[in-house]
Homo-oligomer: A and B are copies of this chain.
């Protein structure tokens, strides 16, 4: 599978279709896109944190969904937009302070469905704080 869009192109497209991602400040950014893979960063602001400074579960679910979109769009191009049909997430460990990185890889990019796997870890950490898989319906292209 070959990437056909750059991080800048994907960011511009997603800013238009998901403007609410940046409520509270621009927290999600694309660290990189390679063939079959993408890494998305969450730099948490107050709206993403629980008391004590831990990134909330919903923020991690949002990171997984957004990161999966990034890797799909980067490989199908800007003409079509995927729709999430299923997301399954396991929360493994309490996140520490600092940025979280969602590292996604495309398990399948078919005619009608794409499936993505996403591991979420603190920057520089090996142990995952969460792991998700998700399926997206793709319009005809």
Contacts and interface: CB of A to CB of B under 8 A. Distances in A.
A107 B133 CA distance: 14
A108 B88 contact: no
A57 B65 contact: yes
B86 A108 contact: no
3 shortest interchain CB distances as A-B pairs: A58-B62, A23-B47, A88-B88
Interface residues of A, number: 42
Interface string A41-62: 0000011111100001110011
Interface string A83-120: 11111111111000000000000011000110101000
A67 to B, nearest CB: 12
A128 interface: yes
A24 interface: yes
Nearest to A87: B89
Contacts of A46: 20, 23
Contacts of A93: 108
A90 B87 CA distance: 7
A37 interface: no
Contact of A107 (B58, B83, B84, B90): B90
B87 A113 contact: no
